[in-house]
Structure formats: structure tokens, C-alpha cells
């Protein structure tokens, strides 16, 4: 029989083995009350934690205390934020005009319309006698326009995280 657990716990008297380093670290912090805190780093009170046995692991350089600009350059403490760029009052961004913006706001925020209902509305709009041209070709164009919307100078972005370690 081959044992898939290959990392031993070196704590005196402990005979446990682990498949991953994170599993070993979790075991040490849970069962042997190891602290991964390095001397010289700020000590945060462990007694304020609502969970018994919680250990905080502090990185010696990634402390989150240094503020940087968008280029990674340090920002002086207490410096004011950069000015918000002024935009033309007729700049409707990716919407092009006020009617497209307000229609999008109504469909997406107020009515919370489904994709199929958006497509039906745009189809009916295209067949109307009042110009016969819908503001968007379909729900995908509407969604792409919404996704292209910027608020200030910050670009919208998302990211995902996934924990692959051993479950406690």
C-alpha cells in the first residue's frame, strides 16, 4: 500500500503525515498552536479574534500599509487624491446619447428585463412606424454597452479566487 501523505509533522510526539504543505500548516496552527508571526512585525492582538485557534500569518514585506498609484509608485502619506477628470455634459460614454442611456437604465435597472424580453422589445421597436430603428440590435449589444461603461477613471474589473487546499 502506497501512502499518498508524504509531508510529516515534526512536532515532538506527533505522527501525522500530510499531502500538502497547506494541510501541514493548518494542522500545526490548529493542533500545536504554532504562530507563523515573525519577530519585528506588528503584533495584532489575538484575543480580539472571535474564533479560538485562529492564527494570523504576516508577510514581512506585503503589509498593505504602503499606498501606491496606478503605476506602482509610492504615494506620500496624507496626499490628496488625484482630481476627477471633467467630462463634457454631452458625453454619454458608450451609450452615445441620453435616450440610449435612459433606455438602458430603465430596461436593466428599473424593469430588470430578461434577455428574451429585451430582444422582443427591440424587435417591436424596430417594426414601429416611429422610425423603425431600435436603439440596440439585441440584448447582447445592450449588455456590451453596459459592460463598457466607466465610472470616473477606474476601469471595471473582476477576478475570482478558489481555495484548493485541504478542507478543515
Q: Taking a C-beta distance cutoff of 8 angstroms, is the pair 27, 10 a contact?
A: no
Q: pTM here?
A: 0.38
Q: With a cut of 90, say whether residue 4 has pLDDT above it.
A: no
For CA atoms 113, 115, 120, 123, the dihedral sign is: positive
Count other C-beta atoms under 10 Å from residue 102's C-beta.
13
The predicted model gives 56-84 an average pLDDT of 78
With bands split at pLDDT 50, 70 and 90, how would you rate the model's confidence at 41?
very low
Most confident residue range from 2-11, 60-69, 99-108, 146-155:
99-108
For residue 116, the 8-state DSSP code is H
Q: Which of 164, 155, 150 is nearest to 91 (CA)?
A: 150
Amino acid at each position: 500500500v502506497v501512502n499518498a501523505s508524504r509531508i510529516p509533522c515534526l512536532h515532538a510526539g506527533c505522527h501525522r503525515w500530510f499531502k500538502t504543505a497547506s494541510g501541514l500548516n493548518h494542522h500545526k496552527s490548529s493542533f500545536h498552536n504554532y504562530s507563523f508571526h515573525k519577530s519585528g512585525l506588528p503584533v495584532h492582538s489575538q484575543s480580539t479574534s472571535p474564533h479560538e485557534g485562529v492564527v494570523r500569518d504576516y508577510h514581512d514585506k506585503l503589509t498593505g500599509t504602503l499606498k501606491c498609484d496606478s503605476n506602482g509608485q509610492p504615494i506620500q502619506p496624507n496626499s490628496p487624491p488625484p482630481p476627477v477628470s471633467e467630462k463634457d455634459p454631452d458625453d454619454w460614454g458608450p451609450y452615445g446619447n441620453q435616450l440610449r442611456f435612459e433606455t438602458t437604465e430603465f430596461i436593466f435597472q428599473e424593469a430588470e428585463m430578461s434577455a428574451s424580453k429585451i430582444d422582443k422589445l427591440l424587435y417591436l421597436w424596430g417594426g414601429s412606424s416611429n422610425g423603425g430603428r431600435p436603439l440596440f440590435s439585441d440584448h447582447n449589444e445592450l449588455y456590451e454597452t453596459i459592460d463598457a461603461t466607466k465610472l470616473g477613471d477606474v476601469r471595471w474589473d473582476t477576478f475570482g479566487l478558489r481555495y484548493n487546499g485541504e478542507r478543515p
